[in-house]
């Protein structure tokens, strides 16, 4: 299945205002909150089947009550008692653990939001796709970890994958009404993050507080750090490759600090179609919630005269080596994207725990990629178990290599090796 040619759901397209039932995986996060804000404004149009969270039982219970959900599940089994207590007498069924997340995804609902952070979201989001749901996908790590497998199984089940990520949502909108074979290339825009103009030595020693201060978007900590390293754009290259069946050389990145143009599609005749809007995730989420119709959303309207200037510049992979690492992994193929993603999750976690420098994030990812490929972890995962096995082993490898990287005071961009040079693959 290709996300740009979604299979229409007959009931929904016949009557776009028919009630749609929803499941929110990762309801307590930033994307979850934006989605809930939209749902609350559209009472009667949506019914919530299930909500999930990692461990915040109190917040999840409040949401479940407010939304009238039928099922609430926490990943952390230790949070079960608190969730059960908080929802006693409410009629909301309660679950905990990995299996409860999958159960939430498998319960009958028309539409499932995949908004868990990291590979932790893969199993449940895939379960939703495998029962043929409309999957509004924010959890890009699922596609980086196991994109081919995910899209293949979604297609086999007749699922529709709608991109929530603002860039891919923009591409999706800019592709509708045109023939796929007429697309020449796509251009993902990147804000450049908080260190866009910073000197290399400042970037390498950036603090957690500095990295979490994103200029345009308010998001969860993992994706905010990814934006600061520009690994986020690297993950998005791989996400675009899977969502739209594009070759790596058809996906470009341009830095656009105002975050108004959310991405662009270039066609064979030279036409370029972009989607614009204020930087507010409620716009792409509203598009997914109402698709194929549209919602009257609350996001601030674009005022181009006030914005005044839109600027564009080439990304600098010397200062932001993570972007080159991700492109190298995409071009290499096989298990490299799975390894890249897992190594990055470990690196970001260590940075947020203040055990690794900011520059150490890309350094660790690079070293793990090299080590994994020298150990011949070459095959692309064919099954969920294989993907999770590679992910797990990569995490072990990253923890083995971590002390060596963490001990280094600074990190030289590492562009001297194959991973830093897009277009060169490792044999």
The three-point CA angle 349-353-355 to 5° equals 100
- Site for ligand NAD contains 387 (CB under 6 A): no
Beta bridge partner(s), residue 358:
none
| Identified binder of ligand NAD from the candidate list 16, 215, 220, 349, rule CB under 6 A | 220
Candidates 10-18, 44-52, 167-175, 329-337; binding stretch for Mg ion (CB under 5 A) = 167-175
Number of H helices, E strands in the chain: 18, 11
Token pair listed for 427: 């044999």
Binding letters toward ligand NAD, positions 60-99, x by CB under 6 A: ---------------x------------------------
Q: Which is nearer to ligand NAD, 163 or 359 (CB)?
A: 163
Side-chain-side CA neighbours of residue 164 (13 Å): 26
- Site for Mg ion contains 165 (CB under 5 A): yes
CA proximity to 325, closest of 376, 364, 377: 364
The stretches of 274-314 forming alpha helices (DSSP H) are: 282-290, 304-307
d(CA 118, CA 387): 13
Question: Smallest distance from the beta carbon of 181 to ligand NAD, in angstroms?
Answer: 28
The burial of 157, by beta-carbon neighbours within 10 Å (0-12 exposed, 13-18 middle, 19 or more buried), is given as middle
Question: Smallest distance from the beta carbon of 59 to ligand NAD, in angstroms?
Answer: 8
| Identified binder of ligand NAD from the candidate list 48, 63, 94, 115, rule CB under 6 A | 115
Q: Residue 413 gets which letter from DSSP? A: -
The listed partner (ligand NAD, Mg ion, none) that binds 267, CB under 5 to 8 Å by sort, is: none
The listed partner (Mg ion, ligand NAD, none) that binds 223, CB under 5 to 8 Å by sort, is: ligand NAD
Candidates 157-165, 203-211, 341-349, 366-374; binding stretch for Mg ion (CB under 5 A) = 157-165
| Identified binder of ligand NAD from the candidate list 1, 3, 22, 31, rule CB under 6 A | 31
Q: Which residue is nearest to ligand NAD (CB)?
A: 29
- Using DSSP's 3-state secondary structure scheme, residue 240 falls into helix
- Site for ligand NAD contains 102 (CB under 6 A): no
8 A C-beta contact, residue 371 and residue 363? no
Residue keyed to tokens 């409410």? 90
8 A C-beta contact, residue 335 and residue 390? yes
Q: Which is nearer to Mg ion, 163 or 420 (CB)?
A: 163
- Site for ligand NAD contains 12 (CB under 6 A): no
Q: How far is CA 149 from CA 76, 102, 110, 382, in A?
A: 27, 17, 22, 6
Q: Which is nearer to ligand NAD, 165 or 266 (CB)?
A: 165
CA proximity to 8, closest of 128, 233, 160: 160
The listed partner (Mg ion, ligand NAD, none) that binds 256, CB under 5 to 8 Å by sort, is: none
CA proximity to 328, closest of 228, 237, 197, 204: 237
Q: How far is CA 244 from CA 32, 59, 172, 250, 302, in A?
A: 24, 36, 8, 10, 27
- Site for Mg ion contains 226 (CB under 5 A): no
| Identified binder of ligand NAD from the candidate list 2, 5, 21, 54, rule CB under 6 A | 54
Candidates 40-48, 109-117, 291-299, 349-357; binding stretch for ligand NAD (CB under 6 A) = 109-117
Q: Which is nearer to ligand NAD, 264 or 373 (CB)?
A: 264
- Using DSSP's 3-state secondary structure scheme, residue 134 falls into strand
Q: Which is nearer to ligand NAD, 80 or 217 (CB)?
A: 217
| Identified binder of ligand NAD from the candidate list 12, 28, 109, 275, rule CB under 6 A | 28
Tell me which residues touch ligand NAD (CB under 6 A). Answer: 26-32, 53-54, 75, 101, 115-117, 120, 138-141, 165, 217, 219-220, 222-223, 281
Tell me which residues touch Mg ion (CB under 5 A). Answer: 165-167
């Amino acid at each position: 299945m290709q996300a740009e040619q979604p299979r229409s759901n007959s009931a929904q397209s016949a009557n776009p205002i028919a009630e749609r039932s929803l499941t929110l995986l990762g309801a307590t996060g930033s994307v979850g909150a934006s989605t809930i804000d939209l749902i609350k404004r559209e009472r009667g149009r949506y019914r919530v089947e299930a909500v999930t969270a990692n461990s915040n039982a109190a917040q999840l219970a409040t949401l479940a009550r407010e939304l009238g959900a039928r099922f609430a599940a926490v990943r952390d089994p230790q949070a079960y008692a608190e969730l059960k207590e908080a929802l006693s007498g409410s009629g909301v069924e309660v679950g905990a653990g990995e299996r409860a997340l999958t159960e939430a995804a498998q319960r009958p609902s028309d539409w499932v939001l995949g908004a868990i952070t990291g590979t932790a979201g893969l199993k449940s989001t895939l379960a939703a796709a495998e029962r043929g749901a409309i999957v509004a996908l924010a959890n890009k790590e699922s596609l980086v970890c196991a994109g081919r497998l995910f899209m293949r199984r979604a297609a086999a089940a007749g699922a529709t994958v709608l991109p929530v990520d603002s860039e891919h949502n923009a591409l999706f909108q800019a592709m509708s009404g045109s023939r796929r074979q007429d697309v020449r290339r796509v251009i993902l825009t990147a804000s450049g993050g908080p260190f866009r103009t910073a000197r290399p030595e400042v970037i390498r020693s950036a603090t957690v507080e500095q990295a979490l201060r994103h200029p345009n978007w308010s998001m969860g900590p993992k994706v905010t750090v990814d934006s600061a390293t520009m690994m986020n754009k690297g993950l998005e290259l791989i996400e675009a490759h899977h969502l739209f069946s594009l070759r790596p050389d058809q996906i470009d990145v341009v830095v656009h600090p105002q975050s108004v143009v959310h991405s662009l599609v270039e066609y064979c005749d030279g036409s370029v179609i972009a989607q614009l809007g204020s930087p507010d995730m409620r716009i792409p989420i509203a598009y997914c919630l109402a698709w194929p119709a549209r919602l009257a959303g609350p996001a601030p309207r674009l005022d181009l005269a006030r914005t005044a200037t839109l600027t564009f510049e080439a990304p600098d992979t010397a200062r932001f080596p993570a972007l080159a690492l991700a492109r190298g992994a995409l071009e290499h193929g096989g298990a490299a994207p799975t390894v890249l993603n897992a190594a990055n999750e470990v690196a970001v976690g260590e940075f947020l725990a203040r055990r690794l420098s900011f520059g150490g994030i890309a350094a660790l990812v690079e070293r793990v990629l090299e080590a994994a490929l020298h150990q011949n972890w070459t095959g692309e995962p064919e099954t969920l178990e294989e993907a999770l096995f590679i992910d797990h082993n990569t995490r072990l490898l990253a923890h083995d290599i971590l002390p060596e990287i963490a001990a280094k005071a600074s990190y030289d961009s590492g562009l001297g090796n194959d991973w830093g040079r897009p277009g060169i693959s490792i044999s």
